[in-house]
């Protein structure tokens, strides 16, 4: 049985010492987020997921979801009861607005809970996770009546929500959707079409499910400019809030898939189902991006989540499994062999994993803070800066975060040798579950294109310039601590590579747009390394200061400094290579014809 421990110590470090959440106490919603309060939430959230949600991860994977003869769907044993406890504990309400029954705490606090849930059980976490995107879209684009009708019950968790974008012939290119929405005389629309791959499309956790569905109205433009967004509840809601008749939306089947078996990925058939438009006709794209941006950060965090739990299990095995002897001589001569943790190659994987997990936790929670500051920052410039940074880095958190999450999960499986490949130990589940995060919410290739094609050029490159300015100023600060200086020097160098790659795009993308597409992935990875580096620089500074100040928990801070050095000496070596990949342009990538590619 895999192990899981909620990373409460490190989360408290990020919240209290790195982000210093308490220092934002003058901003709305932050006033009640005192350190006592946030520490208590972090501890209690950790206890809840450890005791209630984590034990259902392996069993949920083995059992999967079931579609019954009458079309109804049930989740694996234990999910319904765990979800009931989640709702009763008010866990989904932490960061939701008080106006709709939420607790109004900073987004950071809700994100910590989401992260804990996904680490303990990604398939389970996706049920409330998907609803968050739907809540954001209704909140920002729904009418006052829609907000009043749906949000309180979605926020409390009494109802859940889904996002219905994908169709059989289109996933990335949503301009091609065929689902139709025909206006009815009562102000509603009749929705007809088939959606596939819909996460949490149906289940037995809640009495109602609020589907948000992309469709096209008659005469709408054939491109993404013709998309509209509709609320299509599983049960139609009466004016008094009670549940009325069953809507004409059914589950055709549950997809058989590689991982996240505990989450019902459904084919959804809409046969003239009653739907209500969110916002205006043909303006669905903006609402869709609200859903997707919330969801993309959540998916990036899944990269962290699977890396975290896989790391914990890789470490446990490395301490327990005995093979061979340390290169420097037997570490435990009284035993037949040393634990495999003595081998530098095993240590390499553990250090890569720990450095990613802790750096990514800092990046994700810092990202969540930027989401808060986008709305609540003290000045217009604060709000703008936060918005610029999180817009730029959302595709990086999603793309780089999930690529690395998968890599760490496979490295940890590797530590288990053959025992990681067979299914009885559960290491394969982390790899299988981590894999999907690189695909959904827009594949990582599409994230890379979003970064270089949209985000880089927006507002004359203001966001990337802000990132460079931030990194440059923080690298320039003098420090007496050797680690801090080393990290600053290597981060500065990696950022130099990123600046050069950015400049190369500016000079070579207009003449041949394939140059942009060919270098996009390398650029996203390079930006990921720099972003993680900014977090490691900050963590190194905080840790060096804590040690200098005589902190009690010295081993914790010393470990942080060692990981910061690991980032500086091992992660940054890729930066120059990635820059050269960008600068190689598209020539070889596009050189072969389709026929030549097929020669074998």
Ligand X SMILES: Cc1cc2nc3c(=O)[nH]c(=O)nc-3n(C[C@H](O)[C@H](O)[C@H](O)COP(=O)(O)OP(=O)(O)OC[C@H]3O[C@@H](n4cnc5c(N)ncnc54)[C@H](O)[C@@H]3O)c2cc1C
In angstroms, what is the minimal distance from the CB of 471 to ligand X? 28
In the set 424, 441, 489, 595, the catalytic residue is 441
Tokens encoding 187: 């102000």
Out of 152, 445, 496, 576, the only residue in the binding site for ligand X (CB under 6 A) is 445
Out of 440, 521, 557, 567, the only residue in the binding site for ligand X (CB under 6 A) is 440
Tokens encoding 575: 């930066």
Binding-site string for ligand X from residue 120 to residue 139, where x marks contact by CB under 6 A and - marks none: ----------x---------
443 near ligand X, judged by CB under 6 A:
yes
230 near ligand X, judged by CB under 6 A:
no
- Widest CA span of the chain, in angstroms? 84
CA-wise closest residue to 154 among 231, 86, 101: 101
Q: Between 165 and 484, name the residue whose CB sits nearer to ligand X.
A: 165
Answer whether 207's CB lies under 8 Å from 84's CB.
no
197 near ligand X, judged by CB under 6 A:
yes
* Binding to ligand X, residues 243-282 (CB under 6 A): 257, 265
In angstroms, what is the minimal distance from the CB of 161 to ligand X? 10
CA-wise closest residue to 174 among 123, 207, 214: 214
Q: Between 256 and 424, name the residue whose CB sits nearer to ligand X.
A: 256
In angstroms, what is the minimal distance from the CB of 199 to ligand X? 3
355 near ligand X, judged by CB under 6 A:
no
Out of 442, 519, 528, 585, the only residue in the binding site for ligand X (CB under 6 A) is 442
84 near ligand X, judged by CB under 6 A:
no
Which of the ranges 54-62, 163-171, 473-481, 530-538 carries the binding residues for ligand X, by CB under 6 A? 163-171
Rounded distance, CA 244 to CA 334, Å? 72
In angstroms, what is the minimal distance from the CB of 255 to ligand X? 7
Angle between helices 482-508 and 573-583 (to 10 degrees): 0
- Residue, CB closest to ligand X: 171
In angstroms, what is the minimal distance from the CB of 435 to ligand X? 10
Instruction: Please give the full DSSP string across 28-52, using - where no structure is assigned.
Output: TTTTT--HHHHHHHHHHHHHHIIII
Q: Under 8 Å CB-to-CB from 354, ≥6 apart: which residues?
A: 311, 563
In angstroms, what is the minimal distance from the CB of 457 to ligand X? 16
Out of 199, 306, 312, 413, the only residue in the binding site for ligand X (CB under 6 A) is 199
Answer whether 85's CB lies under 8 Å from 45's CB.
no
Residues in contact with ligand X, total (CB under 6 A)? 21
Q: Residue 74 in 3-state DSSP?
A: strand
Neighbours of 164 (CB within 10 A): 29
Q: Between 67 and 325, name the residue whose CB sits nearer to ligand X.
A: 67
> Where are any strands of DSSP class E within 370-490?
none
What is each CA distance from 194 to 197, 342, 442, in whole angstroms?
Answer: 10, 54, 19
Q: Is 441 a catalytic residue?
A: yes
Question: Can you give the three-state secondary structure of 358-380, one letter per residue?
Answer: HHHHHHHHHHHHHHHHHHHCCCH
> Where are any strands of DSSP class E within 21-158?
66-67, 73-74
304 near ligand X, judged by CB under 6 A:
no
What is each CA distance from 34 to 99, 106, 362, in whole angstroms?
Answer: 21, 11, 19
Out of 49, 65, 163, 212, the only residue in the binding site for ligand X (CB under 6 A) is 163
Out of 109, 294, 409, 449, the only residue in the binding site for ligand X (CB under 6 A) is 449
436 near ligand X, judged by CB under 6 A:
yes
Out of 2, 55, 89, 171, the only residue in the binding site for ligand X (CB under 6 A) is 171
The residues annotated with a catalytic role in the active site are 441
Which residues of this chain interact with ligand X, rule CB under 6 A?
A: 130, 163-166, 171-172, 197-199, 257, 265, 436, 439-443, 445-446, 449
């Amino acid at each position: 049985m895999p192990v899981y421990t909620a990373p409460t110590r490190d989360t408290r470090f990020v919240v209290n010492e790195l982000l210093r959440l308490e220092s934002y106490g003058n901003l709305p919603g932050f006033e009640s987020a005192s350190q006592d309060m946030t520490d208590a939430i972090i501890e209690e959230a950790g206890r809840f997921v450890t005791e209630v949600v984590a034990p259902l991860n392996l069993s949920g994977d083995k059992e999967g979801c079931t579609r019954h003869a009458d079309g109804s769907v049930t989740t694996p044993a234990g999910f319904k009861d765990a979800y009931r406890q989640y709702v009763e504990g008010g866990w989904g309400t932490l960061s939701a607005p008080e106006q709709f029954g939420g607790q109004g705490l900073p987004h950071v606090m809700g994100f910590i809970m989401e992260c804990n849930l996904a680490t303990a059980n990604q398939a389970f976490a996706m049920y409330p996770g998907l609803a968050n995107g739907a809540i954001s879209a209704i909140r920002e684009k729904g009418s006052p009546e829609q907000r009043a009708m749906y949000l309180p019950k979605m926020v409390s968790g009494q109802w859940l929500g889904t996002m219905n974008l994908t169709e059989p012939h289109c996933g990335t290119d949503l301009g091609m959707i065929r689902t139709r929405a025909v206006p009815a005389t009562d102000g509603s629309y009749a929705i007809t079409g088939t959606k596939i791959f819909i996460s949490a499309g149906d289940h037995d956790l809640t009495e109602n499910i609020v589907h948000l569905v992309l469709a096209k109205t008659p005469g709408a433009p054939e491109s993404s400019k013709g998309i509209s967004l509709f609320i299509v509840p599983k049960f139609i809601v009466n004016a008094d809030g009670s549940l009325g008749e069953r809507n004409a939306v059914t589950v055709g089947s549950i997809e058989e898939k590689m991982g996240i078996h505990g989450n019902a990925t459904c084919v959804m058939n809409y046969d003239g189902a009653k739907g209500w438009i969110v916002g205006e006709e043909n303006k669905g794209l903006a609402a869709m991006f609200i859903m997707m941006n919330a969801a993309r950060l959540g998916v990036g965090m899944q990269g962290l989540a699977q890396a975290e739990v896989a790391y914990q299990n890789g470490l446990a095995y490395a301490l327990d499994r005995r093979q061979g002897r340390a290169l420097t001589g037997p570490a435990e001569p009284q035993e037949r062999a040393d634990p495999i943790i003595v081998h530098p190659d095993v240590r390499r994987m553990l250090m890569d994993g720990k450095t990613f997990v802790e750096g990514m936790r800092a990046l994700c929670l810092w990202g969540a803070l930027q989401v808060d500051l986008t709305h609540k920052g003290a000045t217009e410039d604060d709000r703008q800066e936060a918005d610029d940074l999180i817009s730029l880095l959302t595709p990086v958190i999603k793309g780089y975060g999930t690529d690395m999450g998968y890599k760490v999960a496979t490295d940890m499986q590797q530590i288990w040798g053959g025992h990681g490949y067979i299914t009885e130990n559960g290491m394969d589940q982390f790899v299988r579950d981590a894999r999907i995060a690189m695909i959904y919410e827009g594949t990582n290739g599409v994230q890379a294109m979003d970064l270089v094609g949209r985000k880089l050029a927006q507002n004359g490159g203001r966001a990337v310039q802000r990132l460079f300015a931030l990194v440059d100023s923080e690298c320039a600060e003098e420090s007496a601590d050797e680690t801090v200086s080393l990290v600053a020097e290597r981060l500065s160098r990696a950022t130099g590579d990123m600046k050069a790659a950015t400049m190369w795009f500016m000079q070579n993308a207009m003449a041949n747009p394939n140059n942009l597409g060919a270098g996009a992935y390398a650029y996203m990875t390079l930006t990921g390394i720099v972003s993680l580096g900014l977090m490691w620089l900050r963590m190194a500074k905080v840790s060096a200061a804590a040690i200098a100040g005589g902190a009690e928990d010295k081993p914790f801070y010393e470990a942080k400094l060692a990981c910061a050095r690991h980032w500086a000496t091992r992660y940054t070596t890729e930066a120059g290579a990635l820059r050269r990949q960008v600068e190689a342009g598209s020539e070889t990538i596009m050189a072969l014809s389709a026929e030549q590619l097929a020669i074998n």
